[in-house]
Structure formats: C-alpha cells, structure tokens
Amino acid sequence: MSEIVATAPAKLILCGEHAVVYGRPAIALPLPGIRARVRLSPGPPGSGVVVQARDLRRRWNLADEPASPLSELIAGTLAQLGQPGAPLPDLRISIRSAIPIASGMGSGAAVASALVRALAAYLGRPLDAATLSALVYASERRFHGTPSGIDNTVIAYQRPIWFVRAESPHPPTPAPQLPQIETITIARPLALLVGDTGVRSATRAPVGEVRERWQASPARYEALFDQVGALVLAARGCLAQGQVAELGRLLTQNHALLQQIGVSSPELDALVAAALGAGALGAKLSGAGWGGVMLALVAPARQSAVARALEAAGARRVIPTTVHAHAPA
C-alpha cells in the first residue's frame, strides 16, 4: 500500500444556525483554504490501527480506546465499506487540522470527512458526497446530540448550500432522513473576515440550552426561528442578485435574532460591534455561539480597516476569505 492523503475543508454558516435545527433553512459555505488532512500509511505487522492526532497531542491504538468518537468512526467505516468480518488492518493514521477546534468552523466534521475519505480510498471504495455526508452524520448524531446535518453536508459537497433538515429533532427521528440540499447561486464574490474570539465552546451546550428554552416558551422561539427563516430566504435572493449591501444588513439582523435566541456572548458582540463600527456591511456570530467565531461581510476597500478593528477588539485570529461567484451546475 502506498501512502493515502485525504482532506476536507472548514465551513462557515452564513446565516440560519440554530433555527436550522428546527426545520428552517440555513446557508453554509465551504472554506477551501482551511483544511483537515488525514494521512494513512502501512503500520508494522500486528500493530493494528494507530491514530496520531497531533493537534490534540494524542496518539492511541484503536484496540485500547474503542469507544472514543474517532475510534468508533474508523472501526465503523472499515466495517461498513470493507469485507465483512475482516480483521482490523495494520495502519497508521495521522490527523492534522488547520481548523480551530470548537469554534463553529466545522473542525469535527472536517476531520471525520477526511478520515472517511482516506479509509474509503484505502479500501478502494471512493465515495460520492451523499454517502460521505451520511457516514459522517451518523457519527455526529452519536456524539453531538441532535445535529441538523448542515456541517457534514457542506463539508462533503464542498459547495455553498441551502440546507433544510428533513427530520424532526424532538423527539429525534430514529433513522436519518434525507435533507433538502440545494446548490445556490452567488452572483458576485463576497469578501468575508472571520474573527475568532478564542473562546472554545462545544456545539452541544448552546444547542441544548436553546432546546430547553424552546420547550419552555415554544411560541416565542418558533416566532424567532420563523424570523430567521424569512431572513435566510431573503439572503438567498441577495446572493443570487449580487445585492451585497442588503445581504450585509440581513446578516446583522440575523445576529440580533441570535442574541434574542440566547447564543451570543460579550466577546462575540464586541467583535460584531467593532466590525460594524469600522464599516463592515454586516456582521454576525457564526456557528453554535457562546464563543467560537463571527463573520463580517466587507467591501474589499474596507477589509484591512475592519481586520484591524477586529484585532483591536480582542480577536485572537482574523481570517480573510473570499467566496467566489458560483452558479449551480
């Protein structure tokens, strides 16, 4: 066996997070320049599967930690795509990722996607995006509660998507059902700045808190989710028409709704305010919230001024990214 390398991109939710868990649409974008990478190489005979995750500073043998999320994903993928009953191969799996962990950029789903792609290539079973997405989603469902599936979908398809989940989150649908996934038109390139608060926050906590609030005040939360859904529909129109300034206003409105939903934080609010103060067209938190990243939509001429303002307001890292014009095939 020669060495196999597979990668997967980070992602950003442009608008619609949280409401997407409750059946409203969301728009997500891949970030092709920031990736997770998995390298497979043969291990010494009898070694079994040894995983090295350098960013987590961890190395383990699958047989010693069968219940860890990545071990289960590896064993499950080998069982599903390999020969029935085949023993575990002797493999070294090295995982590296440039995606900040627990920050709303899809690091977990990207590592899982790169891993499944690498294993599929090793087994001679290249996967289409839908199968890859389903395998990663099954793993996310086990370890992250009730994910909508948007992360694994945008990362597997590697295209800007409109996403509506098919299943009911509460009570969870027993078996995964197919979401509505559409490739969207982006008429004009978008210049974005991603500002990282440096506060790590696992998706599960804010998602669980929103569920409790929704259960306690369903009418209020359904109304907030409806407003987010309407705004995401309008944002799709702006993307298709190249109405970048109006898109910016919608993103800022989405942030205000996310504040009301209860998932912003002082650090996120400070970065959003700094970006808007420095002339961004719009800004909002992105992902699950309480920490992680925010995004600012900027006119290219304001990009460096907004980046400086984000740094001055405490951003640990500012990542400029361009979303290229895109027409569905």
Question: Which of these segments, 119-127, 145-153, 183-191, 252-260, binds ligand PMV (CB under 6 A)?
Answer: 145-153
Residue 148 CB, nearest distance to ligand PMV (Å)?
3
User: Which C-beta is closer to ligand PMV: that of 78 or that of 323?
Assistant: 323
Among 14, 15, 21, 186, binds ligand PMV (CB under 6 A): 21
Q: Does 291 bind ligand PMV (CB under 6 A)?
A: no
Residue 201 CB, nearest distance to ligand PMV (Å)?
8
Residue 11 CB, nearest distance to ligand PMV (Å)?
7
- Nearest partner of 138 among 73, 71, 83, 93, judged by Cα: 73
- Residue in the block written with tokens 């640990």: 316
Q: Does 147 bind ligand PMV (CB under 6 A)?
A: yes
User: Which C-beta is closer to ligand PMV: that of 52 or that of 259?
Assistant: 259
Helix (H) or strand (E) holding 250: helix 244-261
**8 A C-beta contact, residue 297 and residue 283:** yes
Residue 302 CB, nearest distance to ligand PMV (Å)?
26
Q: Does 116 bind ligand PMV (CB under 6 A)?
A: no
- Nearest partner of 263 among 234, 230, 231, 221, judged by Cα: 221
Among 9, 104, 248, 282, binds ligand PMV (CB under 6 A): 104
The rounded Cα 329 to chain-centroid distance in angstroms is: 23
Residue 289 CB, nearest distance to ligand PMV (Å)?
7
151 is catalytic: yes
CB within 8 A of 132, min separation 6: which ones? 113, 116, 117, 120, 156
- Nearest partner of 150 among 9, 325, 11, judged by Cα: 11
Among 7, 77, 148, 252, binds ligand PMV (CB under 6 A): 148
Where helices occur in 176-217 by DSSP H, the ranges are 204-216
Q: How many CB atoms lie within 10 A of CB 68?
A: 15
Report the C-alpha gap between 197 and 208 in whole angstroms: 21
Q: Both tokens of residue 151?
A: 């992360």
- Phi, psi of 232, rounded to the nearest 5 degrees: -65, -40
Binding residues among 172-231 for ligand PMV as defined by CB under 6 A = 203, 207
Q: Does 27 bind ligand PMV (CB under 6 A)?
A: no
**8 A C-beta contact, residue 64 and residue 112:** no
Residue 28 CB, nearest distance to ligand PMV (Å)?
9
User: Which C-beta is closer to ligand PMV: that of 160 or that of 292?
Assistant: 292
Q: Both tokens of residue 264?
A: 């912003």
Q: Does 251 bind ligand PMV (CB under 6 A)?
A: no
**Pick the catalytic residue: 151, 196, 226, 269?**
151
- Phi, psi of 27, rounded to the nearest 5 degrees: -120, 130
User: Which C-beta is closer to ligand PMV: that of 200 or that of 220?
Assistant: 200
User: Which C-beta is closer to ligand PMV: that of 104 or that of 282?
Assistant: 104
Residue 292 CB, nearest distance to ligand PMV (Å)?
6
Q: What is the DSSP letter of 290?
A: S
| CA distances, 269 to each of 14, 273, 288 (Å) | 17, 6, 14
User: Which C-beta is closer to ligand PMV: that of 148 or that of 254?
Assistant: 148
Q: Does 315 bind ligand PMV (CB under 6 A)?
A: no
In the complex, the residues that contact ligand PMV under the rule CB under 6 A are 13, 17-18, 20-21, 104, 106, 147-148, 150-151, 203, 207, 287-288, 292
Residues identified as active-site:
151
